[in-house]
Homo-oligomer: A and B are copies of this chain.
Amino acid sequence: MTPPADPPPKRTTYRHGNLRNALLDAAVELAREGGPDAVALREVTRRAGVAPNAAYRHFADRGALVHEVSQAAMAQVARTMEAELAAVPATDDPAARARARFRAVGTGYIRFATREPGLFRTAFHVPADMAYATDTTAAGAGGLTPFEILSASLDDLVTTGILPEDRRPGAEFLAWSAVHGLSVLMIDGPLRGITPDQADSAAQDVIDMIERGI
């Protein structure tokens, strides 16, 4: 029950040596636990064992720090989607494979949202002052952003003949809306408090709807 943290390592050198990363790590941890609002600059510096102002040598202000956390969180979304894609069993049927991969993309997205709600909310946090509305992209290990991963899976649906070509334009936003909406409703909407099993089931239902309705 010592919530503050382990004793700060009492750095001996004047320079920290890796402050920027230390700050970022602490900030990510805070966001993981409590969402974007929980990222307090002072607490972050405290955990790094450094004076509050030291943060300003590495980040313009709190917004810049949160923005970087947001980027990191978005990259984690991409990685979770990639992991789900990698778990898709091999098949000879390219159409079945394309379908399974499309479903994996959506499943990974929703899984990340329910497993890491704090980071998920941070990934989609847009600051009030619009200063950091830069769409600097955040990619996963494969170098693709979540949006690009989704797009690729939709392209495969078209090339395998599952999705008619004339339905392709704008399909990203239809799929994204449904999957994102379910995520939000489960995280802090009326579906909050659902069990993980129910969450997975709901995810599959929503993806079913997308496949039929897209």
Contact = CB atoms under 8 A, between A and B. Distances in A.
Interface of A: 34-35, 37-38, 124-126, 128, 133, 135, 147, 170, 173-174, 176-185, 188-192, 202, 205-206, 208-214
A173 B185 contact: yes
A124 B206 contact: no
A190 B126 CA distance: 10
Given A209-B214, A213-B208, A213-B211, A185 B192 contact: no
Contacts of A192: 126, 133
A166 to B, nearest CB: 13
Contact of A177 (B37, B38, B126, B181): B181
Nearest to A192: B126
Contact of A202 (B128, B173, B182, B214): B173
Contacts of A174: 178, 205-206, 209
A128 B184 contact: no
A51 to B, nearest CB: 26
Given A182-B181, A212-B213, A213-B209, A128 B35 contact: yes
Pick the most buried of A181, A184, A185: most chain B CB atoms within 10 A of its CB: A181
A166 B32 CA distance: 39
A177 B207 CA distance: 11
Contact of A181 (B37, B126, B176, B213): B176
19 contacts: A34-B128, A37-B128, A38-B128, A147-B190, A170-B202, A170-B205, A173-B185, A173-B206, A177-B178, A177-B181, A177-B206, A178-B178, A178-B181, A180-B181, A180-B184, A181-B183, A181-B184, A209-B214, A211-B213
A173 B182 contact: yes
Nearest to A181: B181
Contacts of A208: 213
A124 B188 contact: yes
